Amino acid sequence: MINAQKLRQDFPILSRQIHGQPLVYLDNAATTQKPRAVIEALKRYYETTNANIHRGVHTLSEEATDQYEDVRAKVAQFINAPEHDPSQILFTRNATEAINLVARAWGGENLKPGDEILLTVMEHHSNLIPWYLIAKEKGARTVFVDIDEQGFLRMEEFKKKLTSRTKIVAVTHASNVLGTINPVAEIGKLAHDAGTLFLVDGAQSVPHLPMDVQKIGADFLAFSAHKMLGPTGVGVLYGRKELLEAMPPFLGGGEMISKVTLGEAAWNEVPWKYEAGTPNIADVIAFGAALDYLQEIGMETVQKHEQELVSYALRVLSALEEIVLYGPAKPEQRTGVVSFNVGTIHPHDISQILDSRGIAIRAGHHCAQPLMRRLNVVATARASFYLYNTPQEIDLLVEALKEARKFFGHVARTRT
């Protein structure tokens, strides 16, 4: 059980006032807040250890290298990478860059004209555009699996569209709009039985549930540190070792080479082959503190807490007049993301009213325009929860939504 009230004290920003009212932060699918331990790790690094890594033969450089590489090992363990081998963990700028890396490095080498990339209509733009770009370049095609009325993938359609032309299946583990948790283990098995690779976009799942890349059969897994209490500017790509060893580099520069002559170069070993230039050392090290924080609580506990919140939210929100809720009805089939619309009020207007009461939600298309079109809406409002949120905050959300209805519903209103 999470004692959210107690835990909130670890997050300095949560004591902030917005427009004179306590901050109610419900935009965690966009980014999460940072505990003091992460902020202090960042500060400590710059105050005591700052140096460039891997090259310097001096104490600071060795310490910084050790701390940076320790986090790689922590990540390998966190997602249960095979043999917890850290060389399968690459640091990028964010999940988007991690997917671009696979599309460029793997796709650039392996995709041929007529090959297919199997995606779904619920993907975030970050798991669409990298594929559009490489498909266009290589003459490959992108193919999409639809969702049903509840927001689940149509698995029969998936099976039909998974053919000998499919070279990679790239699917989000959890929708950033619907909250739907996709059956990734099943998809992974189907993909492998069909002889194709499987990339999982874990941006909305790794922060919220126990992750086991071996259990779900992911060949690649991408996620972002800032959505799981860590700093911005750090993404992770897990890749099966033999794939990473076979793929060509993504970016060229320092660190990623073993030998350079005039006009030629040999590549460094994985994972460093993929980390050209000075990486985001400080933020990676602070990400380690975020992983420690989450592990201390336990990801099963985190997931349970979010399910309780989402269960409560679905119950109280569905009682509101004119509300339309998107995504699966059962809390256990989703993450802590609740998208909705209220009557004809545009989500921007909802969000504005909520902000005036200190409540932060997201309004818009959530970088998932194909899904918006599929749902036949221009935008939705989205509340998303994390381990520090409480049912009281959901009550405040509901009260504010009632006010928004009143505000935009009444015809005449005198200016005070």
Phi-psi map region of 340: left, alpha, beta (phi>0 left; psi -120 to 50 alpha): beta
Q: How far is CA 47 from the centre of its chain?
A: 30
* Residue among 19 and 36 whose Cβ is closer to another protein: 19
Select which of 103, 145, 367, 404 is catalytic: 367
Nearer to another protein, 16 or 160 (CB): 16
Give residue for tokens 């897994």: 221
Q: How far is the CB of 359 from another protein (least distance, A)?
A: 13
In angstroms, rounded to a whole number, what is the distance separating the alpha carbons of residues 292 and 301? 14
**Whether residue 271 has a cis bond before it, omega within 30° of 0:** yes
Cβ atoms 341, 377 nearer than 8 A? yes
| 222 Cα distance to chain centroid | 8
Report in angstroms how near the CB of residue 356 gets to another protein at its nearest: 5
Q: Would you say 79 and 212 are in contact if contact means Cβ atoms under 8 Å apart?
A: yes
DSSP assigned state of 82: G
Residue (215 or 402) nearer to another protein, CB:
402
Report which secondary-structure segment, H or E, holds 198. Answer: strand 197-201
Smaller CB distance to another protein: residue 3 or 416?
416
Bridge partner list, 259? 266
Min dist CB 404 to another protein, Å, is: 8
Q: 281-297 vs 36-44: helix axis angle to the nearest 10?
A: 150
**C-beta of residue 268 within 8 angstroms of C-beta of residue 258:** yes
**Min separation Cβ 296 and another protein, Å:** 37
- Both tokens of 100, joined, read 């671009």
40 burial via Cβ count (<10 Å: 0-12, 13-18, 19+): middle
Which residues, other chains included, contact 221 with Cβ-Cβ below 8 Å and sequence gap of 6+?
79, 199, 200, 202, 206, 211, 213, 236, 237, 238
Q: Secondary structure of 110-121 in the HEC alphabet?
A: HCCCCCEEEEEC
State the residues that interact with another protein by CB under 8 A. Answer: 19, 346-349, 352-353, 356, 363-365, 369, 372, 378-379, 403, 406-408, 411, 413-416
C-alpha–C-alpha distance, residues 396 and 22, integer Å: 11
| Smallest gap from residue 372 Cβ to another protein (A) | 7
Q: Which DSSP string do the residues of 249-297 spell out, in sequence order?
A: PSS-SSSSEEEEETTEEEEPPTTGGG--SS--HHHHHHHHHHHHHHHHH
Quote the least distance from Cβ 403 to another protein, whole Å. 5
In the bound state with another protein, the residue whose beta carbon lies nearer, of 265 and 378, is 378
Taking the complex as a whole, how short is the minimal distance between the CB of residue 51 and another protein, in angstroms?
40
Residue 104 or 382: the one with the smaller Cβ distance to another protein is 382
Neighbours of 48 (CB within 10 A): 10
Decide if 136 is catalytic: no
Pick 305 or 366: Cβ nearer another protein? 366
Write down the least CB distance from residue 409 to another protein, Å.
9
In this complex, which beta carbon is closest to another protein, that of residue 259 or of residue 413?
413
* Residue 284, φ and ψ in degrees, nearest 5: -60, -45
Adjacency order of strands within the sheet including 362-364: 323-326, 337-342, 380-384, 362-364
* Catalytic machinery residues: 367
